[in-house]
Every structure is written in structure tokens, then in C-alpha cells.
Structure 1
Amino acid sequence: MDLGIQGKTALVFGADSGIGWNTARILLAEGATVVVSDLDQSQLDNSADQLEAPYGELHAFAADVTSASSLADLHTRVREAVGEIDILVQSSGVTGAQGLFHEIDEDGWTSTLDVDLMGPVRITREFIGDLRNGGWGRIVYLVSEDASQPYDDELPYCAAKAGVLSFAKGLSRSYANEGLLVNTVSPAFIHTPMTDAMMKRRAEQLGTTFDEAITSFLDEERPYMELKRRGEPEEVANVIAFLCSDLASFVNGANYRVDSGSVATI
């Protein structure tokens, strides 16, 4: 499919694995120049080595989304390598502090919010100038089903994702007349290293196999996921890539759920 982004430049955060990596793969295949970023340079380099860039360029630069100075350094490296960006995909994040409300201390809250809410804010503040300059731009934030259907054992994560959803909606009103469109994607229980770790812990706690932990989680915790499986990263990345494209030229301020029906409300 021709997404109309050949020659565009994309910056993808959280791209050392999972959804971010698959998004970078699709954008490269569509002819975009792609810069991938994540926290650890060596892991990022290993992941970038597995990406193919048949048309566009590929660059890999590490950065810490909790540090404004780290993001400023990243911006300098991006400018030197590829110039200004046209597309920003923010998919980095952490599960953060888990447990019931009375079990999570202030550090658990602030550390989770610092990555999952303030990370997108810092990234946007740093790169918004690039995205406003060309008369055409796209921002896509990876949110979560938890933004609209919170769970009581991961409230810091839920609150952060709800904050990003609101931030994106408000931001979408600011620059659309300049050609910059802002949208979000909300997946549920995707086959990523994050959910692998969750299911390993669950299997240990329940004394079951990894696959049995997934089955019981779907039955007990995510009963509205009608397809009864974890989603695959590329199933989310396909939607992100669409929102980055010319095909989504009339989509702004929207939240696309890729969740097998997990969110029970309309």
C-alpha cells in the first residue's frame, strides 16, 4: 500500500522492540527516512541491524525521555543526520508501579508519570518546531486501553495514559491549520517484552505455565477481548503507520483502539 510518505522523515521512540520496531519497519518499507530511538544504544543498534531500509535511510540514536537535555542532544544529532522531521511516533513507556493504591508510594507514582506522561510532553516540546515548519506533519502517541478502562492494580500507568490521551486531543486543536495532525493508538495486551514479563510473573505467582497464565489472564482480566489471544505488534504498527500517512489526511484528534474489543464501552 502506498502511504504517500516516501521522502518524509520519521522519528520513532521506543523502537528497540515490539510496536515501535514494527512501526519503523513499515515506515522504512514505505520509503521514509527513519530515526529510531530508545534508552540503550547497544540494544537499539542490535534492533536497528534487523531492520531493512530498501528505500529510505535508517539511523539509531539513544535518548532518555526523562531528560530534556538528552532529548536536546538527540535533536542535534537528528538535525545533523537527516534535517527536520515530518513524523513523530512516541511508543516508549513502562508499566511502572503496580499494586493496589495503598501499596504504591509517591516514588512509584512520580517515576511512572515521569516516563509515561512527561516523556511524551518533553519529546513534543523538543520537536514541535520541526513538525510545524513543513506544512505537513504527523504525531502519533501510543496510549493504551487503560486510558479509558483503568485497572485498579496499575493506576499510575492508567493515569499517565489517560493524561496522554487528553494531551493529544488538546494538542490536535493547536496546529491542524498548519497541516500537523495529532492522533493516538490504544492497544490492549499485545505480544511485547512488557506483556511477556507480566505473564512470566503471573505464571510464577499461580504456579502455572506461561501459556496457561495467558489463558487465565484473558478469561479473568480481559473478558471482552473477543479474539482470545494477545495481539501482535505489527497489528498495532499497521494502524500507527496509517495515521502517519497521507491516507489519514482527514483524521485528527482521534483515538484508534486496537484491542480485540477489550474496552467494553462505545
Structure 2
Amino acid sequence: MFNFAGKTAIVTGAASGIGEAIALELGASGAFVIVSDLKEDGCASTVATILDRGGKAAPFAADVSDPSAMEALVAFAEDQTGALHLAVNNAGIGGAQAPVGEYPIDAWQQVITVNLNGVFYGMRYQIPAMERAGGGAIVNMASILGSVGFANSSAYVASKHAVLGLTKTAAMEYAQKGVRINSVGPAFVQTPLLTDNLSQEMLDGLADLHPMGRIGTPEEISALACFLLSDRASFITGSYHLADGGFTAP
């Protein structure tokens, strides 16, 4: 569907789930993919799949909550291919479940550090690299919870609302400098973050919250993210795009 030949892309949180699906689609579409995640073995697995399918990729284990690691990740991408053109800031965590008045302080700080600061740290170094390359595109992975609330998930909801504001502001700043920046808002998706931590009964309950009667797949989110990265979306920046099975429609 897409042609990313000659492009270099960074995908964080790419060891599994949505990040893995995006990395695989970018690789299948001709991009050289820098596969990043905390999990070295997960990075290696995703890279191996891309290579087995005839694509180009390299692993780089990194913690998005560490600005020096994000700087090193971008430097690695430029060292590997000479330029950075595309980035997906996808890494994130769910956090504790508790009402605001009982939410653990350390859990709040961890979620904000990974989900919000991690996106900022990524863009802080990705954007100058893309300017050096003559332009590029970034997708920040938000959530449906970037636009609505969800009880007992205050840190996650706050972090994703903040990602939207950060995305819009950066998009305005770089709109005339050749760097497009958008965000994607998935509803509940079949990822290890979800399916490894919930019973089938709970998963069925979540599916019922979507008018389509099911949760999404990583590939469905990847299709939207890759479109936004592609030249087909050349007039789209600063936007928030939902892939939610109708979750936010009511």
C-alpha cells in the first residue's frame, strides 16, 4: 500500500503489539526500520521478521524515559543510513488502576515519565534530525483516552491528553519546515499490554464498549499510522485520528 523506499524510520515500543505491527509494515514498504524497545530480545525478534521478509532493519534497545537514550537512538539511525525521515513514538505503559484520591504517587510519575516525557524526548531529537534530512513525518501514539475520560486511569488519561497538546504545538512550530506531526487514538487493541493482564470475561466486556462489538488489531492501527507517515497524507499535520471501532461516537 505504501512506498517508503529510501526512508529511515524509528519505531519505539516495537517489540510487540502496535509498535511491532507498524515496524513490520514499514519494513515491508521499503523503509529501513530502527526497531526500539526496552526488551532487547523483542527488538531482535521484530528485526529478524523484517529481514526474513526481505526488508531492512536494525535493533536499538532504549528506554524512552531517558533523554540521553533518545538522543543516542536518533544518532544511531543517522549513523546507520545517513538520515532520519520517519518516527513513531509508540512506547507506553498503562499504569495503576485507582481513583484520583487514592492514586499512587510513584505510579503517576512513572506513567507521565514514559507516556508523555518519552514522546517529548523522542521528538526533541527526531525533529532536528528530520530538518537535517530535508523533512519528515512523526506519529505519536495517543489513545481514545486522549479525548475522553476513563475511571481509575487518571495518569494514563492525563498523559494521553497531554500528548495531543504536545503534538498540535509541535506541528504548528514545524509545519513550514517540512516536518509533519500527527497523533493516533486507538481504542482497545489486541496487544500483550491488554490481553496478558485481563481475563476473557473482562476482554469481552471491553469489546462490548465498542459499537463494532470487538476490540481492534495492531494491523488496523498500523494502517492508519503508516498512512499518516506517507506522502499520501502530505496536507495533514497537527491532527488527532481515531481508530476506535466507534468507541467515542455515542
TM-score under structure 1 normalisation?
Answer: 0.89
- Structure 1 residue 84, shift from structure 2 partner: 1.9
Counterpart of 1:241? 226
% identical equivalent positions: 34
Separation (CA, whole Å) in 1 of partners of 2:27 and 2:52: 5
**Do the aligned partners of 2:37 and 2:63 also contact (CA within 8 Å) in 1?**
yes
**Do the aligned partners of 2:7 and 2:86 also contact (CA within 8 Å) in 1?**
yes
Counterpart of 2:11? 12
What CA deviation, in whole Å up to 9, does each residue of 1:147-205 have, x standing for no partner? 11111211100000000011001111111112111101100010000111342xxx3xx
What CA deviation, in whole Å up to 9, does each residue of 1:120-162 have, x standing for no partner? 0011112221111233310000100011111121110000000
Residue 120 (1) aligns with residue 124 (2)? no
Match of 2:207 among 218, 221, 229: 218
**Do the aligned partners of 1:90 and 1:141 also contact (CA within 8 Å) in 2?**
yes
Distance 1:36 1:67, change over 3 A: same
Separation (CA, whole Å) in 2 of partners of 1:179 and 1:84: 14
- Structure 1 residue 32, shift from structure 2 partner: 1.0
Separation (CA, whole Å) in 1 of partners of 2:28 and 2:127: 25
Bigger mean CA deviation after superposition, 71-80 or 179-188: 71-80
Counterpart of 2:80? 81
Distance 1:53 1:6, change over 3 A: farther
**Do the aligned partners of 1:20 and 1:92 also contact (CA within 8 Å) in 2?**
yes
What CA deviation, in whole Å up to 9, does each residue of 1:78-108 have, x standing for no partner? 2222222100111110001221112212212
- For structure 2, the residue ranges without an aligned partner over 5 or more in a row are none
Secondary structure of the residue aligned to 1:10 is strand
Counterpart of 1:61? 60
**Do the aligned partners of 1:7 and 1:56 also contact (CA within 8 Å) in 2?**
no
Secondary structure of the residue aligned to 2:137 is strand
Secondary structure of the residue aligned to 1:50 is helix
Counterpart of 1:181? 180
Separation (CA, whole Å) in 1 of partners of 2:12 and 2:104: 28
Separation (CA, whole Å) in 2 of partners of 1:129 and 1:190: 32
**Do the aligned partners of 2:137 and 2:181 also contact (CA within 8 Å) in 1?**
yes
Separation (CA, whole Å) in 1 of partners of 2:63 and 2:47: 18
- For structure 1, the residue ranges without an aligned partner over 5 or more in a row are 204-209
What CA deviation, in whole Å up to 9, does each residue of 1:51-85 have, x standing for no partner? 24656521111011111122223233222222221
Residue 262 (1) aligns with residue 247 (2)? yes
What CA deviation, in whole Å up to 9, does each residue of 1:185-243 have, x standing for no partner? 100010000111342xxx3xxxxxx2x33222333xx2xx1111110100000000000
Counterpart of 2:165? 166
Counterpart of 2:97? 98
Separation (CA, whole Å) in 1 of partners of 2:53 and 2:203: 37
- Structure 1 residue 30, shift from structure 2 partner: 1.1
Counterpart of 1:193? 192
Secondary structure of the residue aligned to 2:182 is strand
**Do the aligned partners of 1:25 and 1:52 also contact (CA within 8 Å) in 2?**
no
How many corresponding residue pairs? 250
Counterpart of 2:130? 131
Separation (CA, whole Å) in 2 of partners of 1:50 and 1:135: 30
Bigger mean CA deviation after superposition, 116-125 or 24-33: 24-33
Separation (CA, whole Å) in 1 of partners of 2:148 and 2:179: 28
Q: Provide the aligned C-alpha RMSD in A.
A: 1.6
Counterpart of 1:207? none
